[in-house]
């Protein structure tokens, strides 16, 4: 009975991977990379001992024990009967994961973005812990950057922000952090042990199905009742208009950045009685509208965005690693010319979308993902890409827009002050653009990543962001003065 007894594995060196985490592995293809990227720019002039690459690497080495995800790797289950598990890498090599690179002259954000796009275009090695950090020297103003790439099966937006707590300090001369004892990896479980662990987990599936099916039926009933009553809800997937970036994607990535004032966004929010997320979506919608107008392809129907939503409970907010996300579909009202009217439409649509999302249940996506079959889902993803099905059916959604609150106070990395923080999420077949927004101190940093062949002029979108925000701010100030 040992084979099917979960209690026997309570102290196992294996860590179970959730179905949602595993789904990011299954849906990954040579063209559709499921990693997230963080581009962080530092001012080394604040470092008491100056900048030194070896010192940075040693600082990271001393903090590895605080982020165990850095030293764990995937271990497949024999015959793919269940999701892979996490095990400690007994051959962990920090030199492989932390690399030193130079930015091409003159080292502006354009050259940095080209370097980021190249790094983001390559998949992570699944035989090693699923992360890389490239330390970039040669930037303007003497700045240094880190380009961190981590697989989405390990991290989401909120847990990524939490990870910064362990890698960064609150002052440039923070005391050194060192492990209290030498790290020794636990023995890697053999095939039989992993198979037994997986089967113990599968034994709980019938119980999980008995819970999920009734929850799903109640959620569907609730949505139908809401719609019949005339209440607004989420934008319907598969109803988005097709644009030039809604097509099959290649492995190649294009990256662009923008930075705007957080105080201005809050002023717009306060004046019009909306949320920060409403303002962010409206600014993004205005920039996309200008981009599409410039290409003579602005559709009559509004673009539809998918917005990831954190479903972490209060007891999980400090958790590092793993995904606790859901998603909602919302209109961007790009068919409306007036920015204030567009903001109000987005605000009302988001209220309805959130209410409907709550009716569905925060854990619905997480629960159903547990039943994903590794082999079936991986083959389906490759078939979808290989047959270019993204251009044969209606557009599911036009793009992903993610808004994550960041730290309102300065952070330091090996004594160097963090001066810019641009996150980048994955893009999907049929949806070749991702916009990720993160606040930091007084700024909002915007990260844009797209399929290079579909959006070679991505900087046109990023460049329209400041003007779109200024347009809304002017309208807000006009209202406040009347």
Active site residues: 152
Of the candidates 235, 245, 239, the one whose C-alpha atom is nearest the C-alpha of residue 300 is 239
Kind plus residue range of the DSSP H or E element containing 16 = strand 15-16
Cis peptide before 316 (omega within 30 of 0): no
Task: Give the span between the Cα atoms of 73 and 76, in whole angstroms.
Answer: 10
For residue 426, CA distances in Å to 38, 162, 305, 370 come to 12, 20, 14, 21
DSSP β-ladder status, 304-310 and 325-331: antiparallel
Which residues, including other chains, have CB under 8 Å from residue 238's CB and lie 6 or more apart? 393, 394, 395, 396
Helix (H, G, I), strand (E, B) or coil at 149: strand
> For residue 22, which of 319, 373, 328 has the smallest C-alpha distance?
373
Positive or negative, the CA dihedral 156, 120, 287, 482 is positive
Residue 159, Ramachandran bin (φ over 0: left; ψ between -120 and 50: alpha; else beta): alpha
Of 364, 435, 438, nearest in space to 406 by CA = 438
Residue 326 bridge partners (DSSP): 309
Output b/e per residue, 184-209; b: 16+ Cβ within 10 A: eeeebbeeebbbbbbbbbeeeeeeee
Neighbouring CB atoms inside 10 A of 95's CB total 8
> In angstroms, rounded to a whole number, what is the distance separating the alpha carbons of residues 55 and 268?
43
Q: Quick count: other Cβ atoms within 10 Å of Cβ 106? A: 10
- With vertex at residue 234, the alpha carbon angle to CA 358 and CA 284, rounded to the nearest 5 degrees, is 110
Considering only CA atoms, which of 231, 228, 210, 187 is closest in space to residue 352? 231
Measured between alpha carbons, how far is 71 from 88 in angstroms, rounded to an integer? Answer: 6
Which residue has 């900087």 as its token pair? Answer: 459
């Amino acid at each position: 009975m040992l084979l099917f007894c979960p209690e026997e594995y309570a102290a196992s060196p294996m860590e179970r991977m959730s179905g949602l985490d595993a789904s990011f592995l299954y849906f990954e293809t040579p063209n559709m990379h499921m990693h997230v990227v963080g581009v962080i720019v530092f001012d080394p002039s604040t470092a008491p001992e100056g900048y030194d690459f070896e010192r940075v690497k040693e600082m990271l080495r001393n903090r590895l024990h605080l982020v165990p995800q850095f030293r764990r790797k995937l271990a497949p289950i024999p015959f793919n009967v269940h999701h892979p598990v996490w095990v400690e890498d007994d051959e962990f090599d920090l030199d492989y994961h932390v690399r030193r690179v130079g930015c091409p002259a003159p080292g502006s954000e354009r050259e940095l973005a080209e370097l980021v796009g190249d790094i983001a275009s390559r998949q992570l090695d699944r035989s090693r812990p699923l992360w890389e950090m490239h330390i970039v020297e040669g930037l303007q103003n003497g700045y240094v950057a880190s380009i961190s790439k981590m697989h989405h099966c390990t991290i989401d937006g909120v847990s990524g922000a939490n990870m910064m707590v362990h890698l960064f300090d609150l002052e440039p001369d923070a005391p050194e952090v060192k492990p209290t004892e030498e790290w020794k990896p636990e023995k890697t479980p053999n095939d039989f042990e992993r198979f037994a662990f997986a089967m113990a987990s599968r034994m709980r599936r019938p119980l999980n199905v008995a819970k999920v099916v009734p929850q799903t039926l109640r959620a569907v009933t609730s949505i139908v009742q809401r719609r019949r009553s005339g209440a607004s809800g989420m934008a319907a997937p598969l109803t988005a208009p097709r644009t030039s970036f809604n097509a099959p994607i290649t492995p190649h990535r294009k990256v662009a950045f923008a930075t705007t004032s957080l105080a201005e966004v809050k002023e717009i929010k306060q004046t019009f009685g909306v949320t920060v997320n409403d303002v962010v979506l409206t600014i993004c919608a205005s920039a996309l509208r200008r981009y599409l107008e410039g290409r003579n392809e602005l559709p009559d129907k509004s673009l539809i965005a998918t917005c990831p939503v954190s479903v972490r409970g209060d007891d999980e907010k400090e958790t590092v690693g793993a995904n606790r996300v859901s998603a909602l579909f919302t209109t961007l009202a790009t068919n409306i010319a007036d920015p204030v009217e567009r903001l109000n439409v987005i605000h009302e649509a988001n209220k309805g979308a959130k209410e409907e999302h709550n009716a569905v249940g925060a854990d619905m996506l997480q629960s159903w993902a547990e039943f994903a079959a590794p082999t079936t889902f991986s083959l389906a993803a490759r078939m979808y890409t290989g047959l270019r099905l993204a251009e044969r059916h209606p557009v599911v959604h036009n793009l992903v827009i993610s808004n994550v609150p960041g730290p309102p106070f300065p952070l330091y990395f090996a004594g160097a002050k963090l001066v810019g923080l641009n996150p980048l999420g994955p893009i999907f077949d049929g949806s070749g653009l991702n916009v990720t927004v993160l606040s930091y101190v007084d700024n909002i940093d915007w990260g844009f990543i797209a399929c290079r062949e579909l959006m070679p002029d991505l900087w046109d979108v990023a460049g329209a962001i400041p003007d779109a925000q200024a347009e809304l701010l002017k309208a807000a100030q006009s209202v406040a003065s009347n």
